[in-house]
Amino acid sequence: MASIKDVAKLADVSVGSVSKYLNGGKLKAKTTLAIEQAIQALNYEKNEYATGLRTNRTHTIALIVPTIWHPFFSELAFHIETELRHYQSKLILCNTQNNYENEIAYISMARQNKVDGLIALTYSNVDEYISSELPIVSIDRYFSEKIPTIMSDNFAGGGLAAEKLIQAGATKLAFIGYGSIYDNSTRDRYRGFQAYCQTHGLEAEVIYYEGHHHEFNEKLPELVQETIVSKGVDGIFVVNDEQAYEVLNLLQQNNVRVPEEIQVIGFDGSQQSTNIPSTLSSIRQPIPAMAAAAVKSLMNIIEKKETPLETILPVTYQAGMTTKQ
């Protein structure tokens, strides 16, 4: 492969001039032309190690998600990768699999200069993120005042779910959800739902569990039987789509017809792929806008520009087949 020296020799200029050219410095038109011709003739491509060493930029961003094998995170990763292209940056994918050690390994990698910054979607209490000097943006999870956060309007979404269930004819509502003790977005969905119910004088059943997802799923069949089926609930807002599918399975096991007897609305509104629409009625997070805002925010930090500490984006209702409208 041609080196910077080969380019300089062919262009009959100094190595310093070629280096200046490669780093966007100003040169005489004649020199620029000679270098460009030499680069073309030699099919020269910049060695990115050397560039990194000089500019301390790798043009790579790490995206930290619990798992890419999930429609919400894969749609998000798709849009983030697309956005990063506008900045000539690449995406390193990190599945933490909810493993704290995996997260720490990625933060260490970032510190070793392997990435320019992080976009993190994590539900563990990773203090390391906060203490580090790394450029970082958080999605869906509020860490601290220092880290810009991109969120859906979870509170409004909870209210919208209640409103849509009532508009579709439900009279007795319930909320089903769980969350880690650090997961504030989950609580906001619940609070928005409750606020709507209180304003409209509705008394809602609540199944809420703070802890691990699998513990919750063990308790859920009994809770659904006790709290939903026995008490005449006819409209359920479930805290996210994945949990909503669990609830739909349990309703089917109880011979409850959806949406005829009980209507169900989830939260996320992601679909399997561009071509397979979801059958679940849901509150749709604005995933493309969240991706764009996260990338923009991170680039602002990297380029030492100002960026908002909190960005809250509006949600919409997406009708599927689990509600009557």
Which residue, 31 or 271, has its beta carbon nearer to its own copies? 271
From residue 302, give the alpha-carbon distance in Å to each of 61, 73, 117, 289, 309. 11, 24, 7, 20, 14
Among 11, 71, 174, 291, binds its own copies (CB under 8 A): 71
x/- mask, its own copies, residues 256-295, rule CB under 8 A, reads ----------------xxxxx-------------------
The string of DSSP codes covering 150-204 is: EEE-HHHHHHHHHHHHHHTT--SEEEEEEE-TT-HHHHHHHHHHHHHHHHTT---
Q: Report the alpha-carbon distance of residue 81 to residue 61 in Å, rounded.
A: 9
Supply 218's token pair. Answer: 């063990």
Least distance (Å) from its own copies to the CB of residue 79?
Answer: 8
Instruction: State how far the Cα of 244 lies from the Cα of 264, in Å rounded to an integer.
Output: 7
Residues 262-279 as b or e (16 or more Cβ within 10 Å = b): bbbbbbbbbbeeeeeebe
Strand 282-284 to strand 316-318: parallel, antiparallel, or no bridges (unpaired)?
A: antiparallel
Smallest gap, in angstroms, from Cβ of residue 254 to its own copies?
Answer: 18
> Could you tell me the smallest distance in angstroms from the CB atom of residue 204 to its own copies?
25
Instruction: By CB under 8 A, tell whether 67 contacts its own copies.
Output: yes
Binding to its own copies by residue 140, rule CB under 8 A?
A: no
Q: Is 209 in the site for its own copies (CB under 8 A)?
A: no
Nearer to its own copies, 167 or 272 (CB): 272
Choose, by CB under 8 A, the member of 42, 109, 130, 289 that binds its own copies: 109
Report if residue 212 touches its own copies, rule: CB under 8 A: no
> Does residue 113 bind its own copies (CB under 8 A)?
yes
Which string of DSSP letters, residue by residue, matches 199-238? Answer: HTT---EEEEEES-HHHHHHHHHHHIIIIIITTT--EEEE
Q: Which residue lies nearer to its own copies by CB, 80 or 301?
A: 80
Q: For its own copies, which residue of 14, 23, 37, 47 counts as binding (CB under 8 A)?
A: 47
Structure tokens at 43: 């099919």
Residues found near its own copies in the complex (CB under 8 A): 45-50, 52-53, 56, 58, 60, 63, 67-71, 73-75, 77-78, 81-82, 90-95, 97, 108-109, 111-114, 242, 245-246, 272-276
